[in-house]
Structure 1
């Protein structure tokens, strides 16, 4: 570990910027700073530790709020003076309660991603996170809890049923019905992906790879 830490080029204050990114959605969550000790703790504990420039002390993300960040992978850039920390967040990253510290847009290119496309991607990742929380916490009375408790056969049955309903709606040329049944299918598919421990992002990456061929 010492060799790894010695590789990092800390600034004159002994700090290196750390970009924290959701490992599943690739959304940037925050920018913080690490010194050698917080980097060492992050590697040893498997959760993010940072150095507060204002308080001049180490801090463990989520120690008081419970919004911890389990580290999936850490990388340094080509100049070895910045870190990329991919995490599995448990709760919001921002102290203001939002998922990311970067929520306010100050510029968007006219030919950039459409608002509808952005919102569509956002709701899928939000739903995926909610399903993941249901999987971990199993709140009583929740439909998602019921599916996980019943197991993969029940989930597969629901995916099959909803796929059939989509087919029927399409055959009937009923757009309203097709809209609702498609939403049900997507939800149950996300439940299945969680049961199989397959992140949605890996499916999206596969689509992107096929598109780029």
Structure 2
């Protein structure tokens, strides 16, 4: 569990002992629900690793999922600039809302697949730093620019062949290889996939 800011400075008095806690899915970035915590609820959340609120209707501490089993496992806890609101990122176990919905705002909590590219970039960047033996990515970094650019070119050709042959399965497979090797090249040159996004956004404007 990551604590993103010193939570001992939280101002519970400003809000009469309860502060709002925004719960966000750590993977999808979707907002799941809003609850309230007093100092005891926050302390229990930190110790247990499961989100615990102060229930205003039950007038007691309430761990989300204590009855349904749909716990919310804490990944990080952040505090806003005024020290009176929490942002808690979680991995939810099952639906969040008591109605059975994914979120308390009746939204489907699905992942935006494009976000995986940032995760993949992080993974490749980590490989570049750690250079573990036996890793294909490590071997590319070790061989340098010539080898990496060669692989980008090869995968580009394979992608074109798949497209021209109307072989959709092969086309997507080779396009995946192309994108992976392009991200390796970006990392090798000190850039990220987000730098390409910024360039495209600039052109779009």
TM range (shorter): 0.5 to 0.7
Is the alpha carbon distance of 1:209 and 1:37 closer, same or farther for their aligned partners in structure 2, counting shifts above 3 Å?
farther
Once the two structures are superposed, the pairs formed by residues 1-213 of structure 1 within 5 Å of their partners are: 6-10=8-12, 11-103=14-106, 122=111, 124=113, 169-172=162-165, 174=166, 177-178=167-168, 182=172, 207-212=193-198
Q: Could you tell me how far 1:171 is from its partner in structure 2?
A: 2.6
Q: Deviations over 1:112-131 (max 9, x none)?
A: xxxxxxx9x74749xxxxxx
Taking a change above 3 Å as real, the CA distance of residues 23 and 13 of structure 1, as seen in their structure-2 partners, is: same
Structure showing greater Rg: 2
5+ residue gaps, structure 1, are: 105-118, 126-164, 187-205
Structure 1 runs of 4+ aligned residues shifted over 6 Å read none
Distance verdict in 2 for CA 1:12–1:122, change over 3 Å: closer
| Deviation (angstroms), 1:7 | 1.5
TM-score normalised by the chain length of structure 1: 0.54
Question: Given the superposition, is the C-alpha separation of residues 79 and 212 from structure 1 closer, same or farther in structure 2, using an over 3 Å criterion?
Answer: same
Q: Secondary structure at the match of 2:41?
A: helix
Structure 2: distance between partners of 1:99 and 1:180 = 35
CA distance in 2, matches of 1:88, 1:75: 15
What are the Cα deviations for residues 177-210 of structure 1, in whole angstroms up to 9, with x where unaligned? 5279639x98xxxxxxxxxxxxxxxxxxx53354
The answer to whether the Cα contact below 8 Å between 1:5 and 1:39 also exists between their aligned partners in 2 is no
Decide whether the 8 Å contact of 1:5 with 1:40 is kept in 2.
no
TM-score, normalized by length of structure 2?
0.55
Give 5+ residue unaligned stretches, structure 2.
1-5, 115-157, 177-191, 200-205
Alignment partner of 1:97: what SS?
Answer: coil
- Give the Cα–Cα distance (whole angstroms) in 1 for the partners of residues 97 and 194 of structure 2: 30
Q: Give the root-mean-square deviation of aligned CA atoms.
A: 3.6
Q: Which residue in 2 is equivalent to 1:195?
A: none
Structure 1 residues 71-124: Cα deviation after superposition (integer angstroms, max 9, x where no partner): 1110110000100001111111111112211236xxxxxxxxxxxxxx9x7474
Q: How many residues are paired up? A: 139
